[in-house]
A and B are shown apart, each in its own frame.
Chain A
Amino acid sequence: MDLYRSGSSSSCAGKAPDQIDGLLAGAGYRVRSSELRNVAQRLERLETVMVNAPSEISHLADEVVLHNPSDLASWVDSLLSELNQPVPVPDLSDLTYAESLDPTVNTGAWMEHHTAEQHREIPQVLTAVEEDSCIQLVHVLMTCAGSVQRGEFSLARALIDEMQGLLTRVNNRCGIGKVAGYFIDALSRRLFSPQGSGLIGSAYENEILYHHFYEASPYLKFAHFTANQAILEAFDGHDCVHVIDFNLMQGLQWPALIQALALRSGGPPLLRLTGIGPPSSDGRDSLREIGLRLAELAHSVNVQFAFRGVAASRLEDVKPWMLQVGPKEAVAINFIMQLHRLLVSAPTRGSPIEAVLGWIRNLNPKVMIVVEQEANHNQPEFLDRFTEALHYYSTTFDSLETCSTQPDKALAEIYIQREICNIVCCEGLARVERHEPLAKWRSRLRGAGFKPLHLGSNAFKQASMLLTLFSAEGYCVEEDGGCLTLGWHSRPLIAASAWQAIPEPNPPLGLVDPYNNVV
């Protein structure tokens, strides 16, 4: 009676971890084999939460955000975030999983590593014990990161187990407990994921997360507002203006600028917008879609508008001839949380940042906006980066606690989690979140031939007002040598600055043709 044992559609022997579990697929659920344990843990977590909060279950049922139930992992996560639980740390300490067709294999093997999870109670707020556990947790995190740096991987793994235990004694709904979970998760991925590729999402996913981060906190709004202010001022008196946005995303920044230009005394200029973004993999031309929407808006307020999308996987692939800058145009360059990606360097690729800043300088823009995370996440030593990131993102998460709308808050946290993962898990070309502090950018940009433009007291006052309108207590705007920073309780988290090219002291004969491929 062996016909069905050799059956095709239901076999699952020896699949590569990245493949979907064939048996669950037959039941209508898509879960990668490598994620099975993770999903099981989350289900357990969800059950614990449901048992302890039965009154919230009917709320869940009536108001749950409807994610695709076939994608079990996201489905469970969405329920967990509805109930304000962080995604738990995956237990990856046993990478070999039983071939479930073989009845002699002990299918209970995966149970062995869960001893810490049994009899777990939902922690009440216990200040003394909790504070102690928080301090311990940070200490073990630092020790673990140190052991990772030194290549002591078995010690690191043991420390991860210890931290999982500590996590249960800490209030993981906020503060260090929540962010520690993400850092432990990132360390696990670095240790156990063979590719060390962190969390990679599709362009579409990234857009969604970005949007919710935009809604949940004032950082992006501040960046856009300050940038638009500087661009408006730089475009004063010009009739043909061209904005080059190095990360169009959903174009959230531009409606406000279009409207401000429409109301300009003397009438609006002819506005060109060039939006740069990653190529869409699913056949949608998202750049074009956004361009169309912005064009409609511009049309409705009588601003002459033209849009061009430039798809590029890497910023350094963008060449000036793609932008088609006209000789009489006033150009504004816009880098919102992007410029640091050019700091990725490899021996064979030269210095992308120098190359790009070089041709931008030759375009002689009226203003170049640079908004960056105010943090030192590009230090050569892993432990230094880790420590800095831990403090930076703890502050960021603290500030996010003031957001009360879902799913904005949950998805904003995932947005940030991706940054954390990139900083902690990745190296080399994959590590793109190479944040550097304002002081470093100042010397770098000066060296590349740019001089700072003061953002002005107007911008400062208006940014402060923006904060009181949109955000909670705790955020603060500060002026720093002509630049503006937005932070949480006196820790600056975002820095905005504006720049202009210093004219060449000895220009070559004739005008520099911006259509040339300048290197």
Chain B
Amino acid sequence: MAGSNEIKVNESKKVVPLNTWILISNFKLAYNMLRRPDGTFNRDLAEFLDRKVPPNTVPVDGVFSFDVVDRSTSLLNRIYRPSPSPETAADPQFGIIDLQNPLSTTEIVPVIIFFHGGSFAHSSANSAIYDTFCRRLVSICKAVVVSVNYRRSPENCYPSAYDDGWAALKWVHSRPWLRSGKDSKVFVYLAGDSSGGNIAHHVAHRAAESGVEVLGNILLHPMFGGQDRTESEKKLDGKYFVTIQDRDWYWRAYLPKGEDRDHPACNPFGPRGISLKGLTFPKSLVVVAGLDLVQDWQLAYVEGLKNAGQEVKLLFLKQATIGFYFLPNNDHFYSLMEEINSFVNPNC
């Protein structure tokens, strides 16, 4: 290990564009300030630092959004929709939200329930980076995106985020204005990056066990782990914005007191994992960034799905770092969007 006064060679600068490097490094340093060694979190400062944006009912670049509160859970969901094209809408009234009619009676419009990342502790549905990402998803996939503002750790640890995800899934299925297609049902996909990916998996698992339909899972470098230190963790520790130390902190903040990282929330195919064999688990698209130190756990997850007989596609982006999808200034972003588009619009 390097001496305490020596700065590790910062290789991340070589592999990402300058503005991406600035964005992610800024997060990294700000987050360092928010995590306290005693396991508490400076939530006030975190909220101050988080760049948030309001929804817009008047479409911008073909997308409009609005916030809805599910009164039974007081969960906030932000809905993003493509704005009606002038030809199809009889009388496009921008600013007035239609909460009655289905999205379409002829076409299938996928509804992607998105769980933002932030290692269970950071960010919100109205964080600028995630708002922007969801809007891009809508434009590219012609889907509706529902971004869930789940409760975060350390104030709300396991299983709050999963409960909130489950509540959101039920809520989405019960909205008549999210239905589409000739059969008039909600075509639901689950998606998430980092901790959001982890949430998507666990919500999908519960859905499979309860018979609630989820058509597909999209996991963007999902946050998994385990007690072992894998090769990728050792090799990439501190090199591309992320350290083992900070991963450990976030797991300690999310998992119940006294639990270790082999808890099934963290390690679903580990020694304490639950088998998915025989379950109607949704098909999965798992995206792994080749410079993410967590990749060995993500690859193990893919293997775990395969071993359980579940359909899974791996998109391995060799030179990608975490957060490559925040700014559309690199090839990986476009590969990702193409894959997601094909995944939710299989007949296009």
A contacts, CB < 8 Å to B: 1, 3-5, 7-10, 12, 21, 23-24, 26-29, 31, 36-37, 39-40, 43-44, 46-48, 50-52, 57-58, 60-62, 64, 66, 69-70, 72, 76, 97-98, 100-101, 103, 107-108, 110-111, 114, 118-122
Complex Cα–Cα for A5 and B51 (A): 26
A46 to B33, CA, bound (A): 12
List 18 extra interface pairs beyond A27-B129, A43-B29, A118-B9, CB under 8 A. Answer: A7-B139, A12-B329, A24-B327, A27-B51, A29-B26, A31-B22, A36-B19, A52-B4, A60-B33, A70-B51, A72-B26, A76-B26, A100-B18, A100-B19, A101-B329, A107-B330, A111-B13, A121-B6
- On chain B, the residues within 8 Å of A111 by CB distance are 13-14
Interchain CB contact (< 8 A) of A40 among B15, B21, B33, B331: B21
Cβ contact of A36, chosen from B7, B18, B329, cutoff 8 A? B18
Q: Is the CB of B26 within 8 A of A43?
A: yes
Task: Determine how close the nearest CB of chain A comes to the CB of B169; give it in whole angstroms.
Answer: 28
Residue of B nearest to A107 (CB): B17
Q: Which residues of A contact B61 (CB under 8 A)?
A: 7-9
Least CB distance from B133 to A in Å reads 9
Chain A residue nearest in CB terms to B14: A108
Q: Which residues of A contact B19 (CB under 8 A)?
A: 12, 21, 23-24, 31, 36, 100
Determine if A61 and B51 form an interchain contact, defined as CB atoms under 8 angstroms apart: no
For A12, list chain B residues within 8 Å (CB). Answer: 19, 329
Which of B42-50, B216-224, B225-233, B269-277 is the contact stretch?
B42-50
Closest to A104 in B: B331
Nearest-CB residue, chain B, relative to A58: B36
Q: In the complex the two chains form, is A119's CB within 8 Å of B7's CB?
A: yes
CB-based closest 7 A-B pairs: A28-B51, A28-B128, A100-B329, A100-B17, A108-B14, A61-B33, A23-B327
- Chain B residues bordering chain A, tally (CB within 8 A): 52
Q: Is B25 in contact with A110, judged by CB distance below 8 angstroms?
A: no
Q: Is the CB of B132 within 8 A of A27?
A: yes
In the complex, 12 of the A-B residue pairs with CB atoms within 8 angstroms, ordered by the A residue number, are: A3-B140, A24-B23, A24-B327, A27-B132, A28-B51, A28-B128, A31-B22, A39-B22, A51-B7, A58-B36, A61-B42, A69-B49
Q: In the complex, what residues of B have CB within 8 A of residue A107's CB? A: 15-18, 330
The reply to whether B328 and A47 form a contact with Cβ atoms under 8 Å apart is no
Q: Contacting B329 at CB < 8 Å: which of A3, A23, A29, A108?
A: A23
Interface residue ranges, B against A (CB under 8 Å)? 4-7, 9-10, 13-19, 21-23, 25-26, 28-30, 32-34, 36-37, 42, 45, 48-49, 51-53, 60-61, 127-129, 132, 136, 139-140, 326-331, 334, 337-338, 341
Q: Could you tell me the distance between the alpha carbons of A351 and B45 in the complex, rounded to whole angstroms?
A: 54
With A23-B328, A26-B128, A40-B25 as known contacts, state yes or no: A48 contacts B18, CB within 8 Å.
no
Given contacts A50-B29, A100-B19, contact A120 B7 (CB under 8 A): yes
The listed residue (A4, A23, A39, A110) touching B334 by CB distance below 8 A is A4
B139 touches A122 (CB 8 A): no
Instruction: Give Cα distance in the complex from A97 to B61, angstroms.
Output: 28
Q: Is the interface of A mostly helix, strand, loop or mixed?
A: loop
Nearest Cβ on chain A to B244's Cβ, whole angstroms: 15
Inter-chain contacts of B329 with A (CB < 8 A): 12, 23, 100-101
**Least Cβ distance of A498 to chain B in Å?**
49
Contact A26 B25 (CB under 8 A): no
Contact of A69 among B25, B51, B327, B330 (CB under 8 A): B51
Contact of B34 (CB < 8 Å), options: A26, A61, A66, A122: A61
Q: A51-B7, A118-B9 are in contact. Are A43 and B139 (CB under 8 A)?
A: no
B21/A4 in contact, CB under 8 A: no
A294 to B5, CA, bound (A): 53
B136 contacts which chain A residues (CB < 8 A)?
4, 10
Residues in chain B near residue A57, CB distance under 8 A: 32-33
A51 proximity list for chain B (CB < 8 A):
7
**Chain B positions within 8 Å of A108 at CB level:** 13-15
Bound Cα distance from A58 to B33, whole angstroms: 6
- Whether A40 pairs with B18 at a CB distance below 8 angstroms is yes
Known interface pairs A40-B22, A110-B18; A69-B48 also in contact (CB < 8 Å):
yes
On chain A, the residues within 8 Å of B21 by CB distance are: 40
Within the assembled complex, what's the spacing in Å between the Cα atoms of A96 and B266? 45
Evaluate contact between A5 and B330: CB separation under 8 angstroms: no
Complex CA–CA separation, A60 to B32 (angstroms):
11
**Cα A57 to Cα B30 with chains together (Å):** 10
A98 to B22 Cα, complex, angstroms: 15
Q: Which residues of A contact B328 (CB under 8 A)?
A: 4, 7, 10, 23, 101
Docked-complex contact A26 and B13, CB < 8 angstroms:
no
Indicate if the CB atoms of B34 and A4 lie closer than 8 Å: no
A147 to chain B, nearest CB (A): 30
Chain B residues near A61: list those with CB within 8 A. 33-34, 36, 42, 45
Q: Which residue of B lies closest to A5 (CB)?
A: B334
CA distance A47 to B127 in the complex (A): 24
State how many angstroms separate the Cβ of B174 from the closest Cβ of chain A: 32
